[in-house]
Amino acid sequence: MKILANDGISEQGIQLLENSGFEVITIKVAQEQVANYINKNNIAVLLVRSATKVKKELIDSCPSLKLIGRGGVGMDNIDVDYARQKGIHVINTPNASSESVAELVFAHLFSGIRYLTDSNRNMPLEGDTRFAELKRDYASGVELKGKTLGIVGFGRVGTAVAKMAIALGMKVLVNDKKDKTKDVTLDFFDGQKVTFTLSTTSLDEVLRQSDFITIHVPHQDDYLIGENEFDKMKDGVGIINTSRGGVLDEVALIANLDSGKVNFAGLDVFEDEPNPAIQVLMHPQISLTPHIGASTHQAQERISIELAEQIISILK
C-alpha cells in the first residue's frame, strides 16, 4: 500500500510505516498535480501539513484514497466532513506540537519586550557608529515576571503556554468558547510536580486585564480580534498569533501599533499566507516567523510517529 507524504515526514515515521509493509513516497508534488500523481501511482494514503490542500475536487478525483493524514492540529486545509462521508479516514496529530508552538510564543514575547526584532535590524547597520544611542533606545525593556498573560483558546497549545507562563512567574487569564476549569500540572526536572487550577473567564476580561495576549484558536469565519477588541485592551499591550491567519485583523493591528496602543506583535501566521502583506513584513514592531510553530526536530518526530501509529492501527 502506497503513502504519499507530500509535505514531508521524519525518518522515524517512515521506518515504522515501512516495517509494517507500506511504501512511503516523499516526493513533493505541486498542488495542481497531486490528483494526477495519486491516480497514476495508486496512492492509498495522502499525508499533508498546511501546504497541500485536500478539498472536495481532489477527493472526488482520487478513488484510491483510503486515508488522509494531517501532520498538525488544525485541518482547515482538508474537507474533513466530505472525506469522511466518502468513507475516507481523516486523522491528525493534536498532541505532538503543543510544546513547540508554546515555546515559539515565548520567543516572540521575549523579542517584543526586549526590542530584539528592531535591535537585530539596526545593530548590523549602526552598531559600530551609534552604539550609545541604540543602547539608550533599547534600554526600556520589561520583565515577564509579575505581568498578566491572556490566553485566548484553552486547548492543548493554550495549556502548554499557561504552564510556561506560570513557571516564569506570570499571572494567567484564559478564555475559551467553552467554560471550563482545568488542572495544569508543571513537571520539574527532579520529579517534583505542582498543580494549578485555572478557570476560563470572558474574552472582555482577558482583553482588559492582560499585559500580553496570545491567540490559540482554530480557523474562524471572521476576525476574533478586530478594532473593537483592540479598543478594550490596555495601552502598550503586546499580542501574539501563532494559531491561524485571519483570526487577527492585520489592518487594525498596524493602526494600533502606529498609534501606540499596541507596543509590539509577534506573528507566525498571516491573513494572506503565503504572501503576507508588505505593511506587516516591514513593520519594525512586529516579530515575524514563517508559520514554523510546529517546526522543531522533536515535534516533527512526534508528529511522524503519531501519524504512522494511527495509519498502522487503521489500515493494518
Report the range of poorest mean pLDDT among 9-13, 94-98, 214-218, 229-233: 94-98
Q: Which amino acid is at 256?
A: N
Average pLDDT on 159-178 reads 97
Q: Are residues 186 and 205 in the same domain?
A: yes
Contacts of 12 (CB under 8 A, 6+ apart): 301, 304, 305, 308
pLDDT-derived band of residue 302, with 50, 70 and 90 as boundaries?
very high
Please provide the average confidence, as pLDDT, over all residues in the chain. Answer: 96
pLDDT-derived band of residue 90, with 50, 70 and 90 as boundaries?
very high
Planar angle of CA 111, 114, 116, nearest 5 degrees: 50
pLDDT tens, residue by residue, 123-148: 999 999 999 999 999 999 999 999 99
Query: Strands 171-175, 181-187: parallel, antiparallel or unpaired by DSSP?
Result: unpaired
Average pLDDT on 186-200 reads 96
Q: Are residues 139 and 75 in the same domain?
A: no
What's the rounded Cα separation, in Å, for the pair 13 and 180?
Answer: 35
User: Tell me, what's the pLDDT at 194?
Assistant: 96
Out of 99, 291, 302, 306, the active site residue is 291
Q: Are residues 84 and 116 in the same domain?
A: no
Q: Are residues 67 and 194 in the same domain?
A: no
Q: Are residues 43 and 189 in the same domain?
A: no
pLDDT-derived band of residue 95, with 50, 70 and 90 as boundaries?
confident
Out of 23, 103, 273, 309, the active site residue is 273
Q: What are the two backbone dihedrals, phi and then psi, of residue 138, each rounded to the nearest 5 degrees?
A: -105, 20
Q: Are residues 232 and 117 in the same domain?
A: yes
Q: Are residues 276 and 128 in the same domain?
A: yes
CATH code at position 118: 3.40.50.720
pLDDT-derived band of residue 316, with 50, 70 and 90 as boundaries?
confident
Cis-peptide into 94, omega within 30 deg: no
Q: Are residues 282 and 213 in the same domain?
A: yes
Q: Are residues 270 and 302 in the same domain?
A: no
User: Tell me, what's the pLDDT at 244?
Assistant: 93
pLDDT of 73 higher than 90 = no
User: Cβ atoms within 10 A of the Cβ of 194, count?
Assistant: 11
pLDDT tens, residue by residue, 234-258: 999 999 999 999 999 999 999 999 9
Examine the residue annotation and report whether 283 is marked as an active-site residue of this protein: no
What's the rounded Cα separation, in Å, for the pair 3 and 25?
Answer: 6
Rg (CA), the chain: 22
Mind giving me the DSSP string for 155-214? SHHHHHHHHHHHHTT-EEEEE-SS--EEEEEEE-TTS-EEEEEEEB--HHHHHHH-SEEE
Q: Are residues 256 and 199 in the same domain?
A: yes
Q: Which residue has the cell 513533493?
A: 28
Average pLDDT on 115-122 reads 95
Sheet holding 43-48, edge to edge: 23-25, 2-5, 43-48, 67-70, 89-92
pLDDT tens, residue by residue, 20-65: 999 999 999 999 999 999 999 999 999 999 889 999 999 999 999 9
User: Tell me, what's the pLDDT at 74?
Assistant: 81
Examine the residue annotation and report whether 302 is marked as an active-site residue of this protein: no
Out of 49, 108, 216, 244, the active site residue is 244
Whether pTM exceeds 0.85: yes
pLDDT of 219 higher than 90 = no
CA torsion sign for 16, 22, 23, 26 is negative
User: Tell me, what's the pLDDT at 224?
Assistant: 97
Burial class (CB within 10 angstroms; exposed 0-12, middle 13-18, buried 19+) of 142: middle
Q: Are residues 145 and 180 in the same domain?
A: yes
Range of the domain at 48: 2-94+297-315
Region of residue 249 (phi > 0: left; psi between -120 and 50: alpha; otherwise: beta)? beta
Q: Cα-Cα-Cα-Cα dihedral of 181, 182, 183, 188, to 10°?
A: -140
Q: Are residues 130 and 231 in the same domain?
A: yes
**How many domains are there within the chain?**
2
